[in-house]
Each structure stands twice: as structure tokens, then as C-alpha cells.
Structure 1
Amino acid sequence: MAEHPTGIPIQLEPLVTRVLAPNPSPYTYGGTQTHVVGGRDLAVIDPGPDDAAHVETLLRVIAGRPVRAIVITHHHRDHSPASRPLAAATGAPIVGAAPVHVASETPGLDAAFDAAYAPDRVLDEGESVAGDGWTLTALATPGHTSNHLAFALPETKALFSGDHVMGWATSVISPPDGDMGQYMASLDKLLGRDDRIYYPGHGEAVDQPQRLVRGMLGHRKQREGQILRLVREAPLALEEMTRRMYVGLDPRLIPAAQRSVLAHLYDLQRRQRVSEEGDVWRSSE
């Protein structure tokens, strides 16, 4: 992302400006991309982490114009925390994804969630916020998280895809809030649309979205096939299965890979293709 450094607004099209937050990591790529939509008045999509310099950059882009809504695709800590200082500075309501509180026996699993996220208005499928010459319509895309929304900009046939479809990697699906079956259904849902371009939360804009979505569906089905082949050979624990499936993976990403494999296993279990016995998984076929 060196060509789009943090703190410098990039106009992607007349109605859309992107600002990259200074939070690069193995999970966020170059950082979280905040999108400012509109002209005479604005919406701010996924203002990102609560970083004072990033919020100040957003306020410079806003330049005193009315902000009709601060729009949140999902409440991960790299997407929603800056909504609060931005709302305090602009008076704009926080709208979008519903708050979710995940109960889990896995220590630290909720660390990615913004526990203080409290929207003024939750948007359901098909509901919109609008301004002068622009509309953002919510599209339910659960899977990465149970509350994930994408937002369509019908005036230019753009889709703000959040973390559901990204421009650099596939999403991490981490149970219990992440759900592989829902994720696959949400990808299928996007195939039925004719969006011109996706603006994701991380990575470059996607100018051939249908092609990418088909590839993502194929990738997940390939992973599912790997799992089924492995458990047909012998019962396996999650850790060993992940090691065999992700040869050469950056060690920092192994925990995320394990969560995605577990999401596949839970989906296959619901479909009665695998079963869990103690610490191992085995084929039910």
C-alpha cells in the first residue's frame, strides 16, 4: 500500500474518497480503509481505529460539511472505534451493523471486537441513509461476523464490501460469531448482483468483483475438499489438520487459519459430513 500512504486522502471517483488508517498488520494489510462518500454532505464508512491523527485527517477531508451518518460495516476494533470521537466532533449519528456480544470459552476470542460500539440506529437489509446525490443501502452479508453489512452506492454501482470481500486476502471466519455457511451464502448473494466495483475495508479496489467472488467461492470449496480428504484418511485434531493444509504459512497467521478451519468443520458437521469425537474430527461418510 506504499502508493497510498496513511493520512493522505485519495479520490477514487467523484463521490468517494479513501483515507488509509495507520494500523497495518498481518490481519489488516496496509491498514483499514475509511471511505468518505458524498459532496455537499457526507457519510463516513468505517472510520477505523481510535487514532487521533486518523480522526484529524478525516475531519480535514470533511472540511466542515454536514455528515449525515457514520456508517459501520461491523464492529471489529479496526473498523468502528473512531466512530465515537468522529461523532463527537461532527454531531453525526452512528448507524449500520447491530452490536454483538459473543460468549465463548476460548480466552481472548472477543479481543477483536469493539465492546463499546453502540450505534444510534441499526440498519436492516434494504434500509438506507442518503444525502445530496448519494444513497447508501445496507446489504446483509453475515459470515465474517454475524452482524456484517455491505453498503451499495446505486448512483455509481459501487459496493463498500467491508471485510466480507477484500482486495488482498480472503476473510477470517472465526466461530462462534463467524459462520462459514453464512459466509458462503453471502458470497452467493453477491453473485446475483451487478455491482461495477467493490471498495473493501482492506486492500485495493476490486474492479472485476464477480470474478473475484467466484474465485473466493472456489477457494473455500477447495479448502472444504481438503478437510474431507484428510479426515477420510484418518481422524485428525484441528492443529494437525491446519498444519497440513497451510504449509509455509506465516506463524503469526496460524491462529486465524485454525479458526477458519474450525468454521469449515462446524459447517460440515451441520451437514453431517464430519463428526467430532474428543479432540479429533473424523469423516461421517
Structure 2
Amino acid sequence: MALKFDTRFDPAYGQGVTVAPGVQRVTAKNPSPFTFHGTNSYVIGRETLAVIDPGPDDDAHLQTLLEVIANRPVSHIFVSHTHRDHSPLAARLKQRTGAAILAEGPHRPARPLHIGEVNPLDASADTGFAPDVVLPDDTVTSGDGWAIRTVLTPGHTANHAAFALEGTGVLFSADHVMAWSTSIVAPPDGAMADYMASLDRLIERDDRLLLPGHGGPVTAPLSFMRELKAHRQMREQAILERIGSGDRTIRDMVEAIYRDTDPRLHGAAGLSVLAHLEDLVARGLVSTDGDPAIDGVFEPAG
């Protein structure tokens, strides 16, 4: 069964939308093939607030956030990961509110760069980000009428975190699980083995509602994430079948596997295939000379 995405979404630019009790969503107007209609920021609480993922460094989005905050104090700014559509506005929001910035840590790759390798995702990384408070896994941060548990979910990036609103069954899943699309897992920023392990962790949590970094909510998380896991496993099998049928390069695999995908996304698709191949080589199912590389030659192991 094909994974069914839900692309119904009204970004309601310039305003806050109540998506759960005490939670408002504010969507930045930064639409793209990678961000859908834009990045979702979330304002939590009724008196003293928290903000999750302030978003890109955008004047209009900052103004909308301040209007939704409506002069109420903000005690915490949580950042799920350090891509430029999620974290850069944190510094300016801190200047306006005095809130502390909390995250897993600065930007870093999921693995060291190979000799001669250039990170194709450098432009998307907020490399200047540094949190005031580093969040270890399972940390509970308490505020005024709310508590947020950090659930580390590496995969999309090495420092990716989800945030659970304690006692509600609501999880802010950022870019790990989204209703409108699969998450990009692109080396060296991301790692497929990490992504799949994090997905299993979220499946075990059994939350009732996921509020993602882009698009609308995931309203049946358990079934959707199981289908998402099966989709990733089928993608892995498709790569193995392409190699078995004679494909040796990522370009050839992408042209076959992603033939119905927007060509603008083929570069990202190639990195996703590389992420799968890194995992398959590590598991001894595929062979290549040296480290797996975007321009490498891949063959069946054995």
C-alpha cells in the first residue's frame, strides 16, 4: 500500500491558528518544494509562553509572532534543529522577549566528511546557532502551566529533536514526521540508520497528535508512522533491486525510482538514496570502493 500524504493545509499567513488547547501555530511565508507552504512556529501557553521553532530570519514572521505573543512574557524558545528555515529567528526573538534558547546543540554533520567531500547542504545550515541551554534526551522543561519533554530524534539532522507537551499526547515532530511528505535524510547532515531508529522510538511513544514543522497535523500518528517505516523499507528494497538489475550510479537509480517526482527534488532524492546506500554498505548488503559517495559506483555485495 502506498503511503498516503495529506496536503490539505491553509497556512493562514499573518495570524495564529489554534491547533490544540493552549497551542497556536504561526506559519512563515517561506514556501518552497522543501518547506511546503512554509515553516510552522508554535506558541505554547496562556500567560507565560514558550515558542517552538521561531523559523527563518524574516521580519514579517517575527512581527506575526510578536502579535500572537501579545505582550505576554516568553520564558523559553525551543529549537528542533539548525536548518535555516527553523532556527535563525531565535536570536532576534530572544532580543525582543529575553527568553532562553534551548536545543540539542549547535549544527554538526551526522558523520565526519570523507576526504575530498564537500557538504552540499552547507547553505541550508545555521552554523552560527548556539543554544543558551543544551537539552539532553528526555529532559523535562517546566513552564507556566506547561511542561515540555525533549525527545531526541536524529536522522534528518544529527541534532534534531522533537518536543512532547507533557500530559496531552501532543508531540511537536518538526521535520522528522510530516503529513504532507517524507523527511529529507541527506548525508552528511543526516543518517538513515539514525532516522529509522528515531522513527521506531516515536512509534513506541504512541502519541495521539503530531504537530510538524511544515504542513498540517498528523492525526493518526501510529498508523501513519508504521506506513512511513514501510515506505522507507520499500525504498531500500527498490534500491537493492535497481542495483541487482544493473544500475551502478545514484543518478541512474534516481531516474528510475523517482521518475514521477518533481525534477527540482532529484538532487535531494539523490542524497536520500546515498543515505540508504550508506546504511546498506554498513550492513554488508551493497559494496563500493572506499566510502559511499554521491558519485560512487555501487554493486551487490558478495
Instruction: Tell me which interval the TM-score lies in, with the shorter structure as reference length.
Output: over 0.9
CA shift, 1:235, in A, is 4.7
Which deviations, in whole Å up to 9, do the C-alpha atoms of 1:137-188 show, x marking residues without a partner? 1001010001100000023110000000012101000111200001001111
Specify every segment of 5 or more residues in structure 2 that has no aligned partner in the other structure, as ranges: 1-7, 291-295
Equivalent in the alignment of 1:144 = 156
Matched, 1:283 2:294: no
Shift of 1:50: 0.6
Q: Aligned AA for 1:26?
A: P
DSSP-derived class of the 1:129 partner: strand
Q: Alpha carbons of 1:24 and 1:123: their partners in 2 closer, same or farther (altered >3 Å)?
A: same
Partner of 1:130: 142
Contact 1:235 1:283 in 2 (8 A): no
Q: Cα RMSD between the aligned structures?
A: 1.4
What are the within-5 Å matches in structure 2 for residues 139-218 of structure 1?
139-218=151-230
Identical columns (%): 48
Comparing 7-16 with 135-144, greater Cα deviation is found at: 7-16
Whole-angstrom CA distance in 1 between matches of 2:64 and 2:253:
44
Task: Indicate yes or no: 2:27 matched with 1:20.
Answer: yes
Q: Which amino acid aligns with 1:166?
A: M
How many residues align? The count is 285
1:121: which partner in 2?
133
Q: In structure 2, how many angstroms separate the alpha carbons of the residues matched to 1:68 and 1:22? A: 25
Worse-superposed segment, 266-275 or 93-102:
93-102
The answer on 1:230 being equivalent to 2:236 is: no
Query: Which amino acid counterpart does residue 220 of structure 1 have in structure 2?
Result: R
Task: Select which of 7, 26, 33 maps to 2:14.
Answer: 7
How much has 1:206 moved relative to structure 2?
Answer: 0.8
Shift of 1:194: 2.1
Shifted more, 225-234 versus 100-109: the winner is 100-109
Match of residue 273, structure 2, among 246, 261, 274 = 261
1:82 maps to which residue? 89
* Offset at residue 107 of structure 1 (A): 5.3
* TM-score, normalised with respect to structure 1: 0.96
Distance in 1 between the 2:21 and 2:119 partners?
45
| Partner SS, residue 190 of structure 2 | coil
Pick aligned residue for 2:108 from 101, 110, 131: 101
Q: Which residue of 1 aligns with 2:3?
A: none
| TM-score calculated relative to the size of structure 2 | 0.91
Structure 1 segments unaligned to the other structure (5+ residues): none
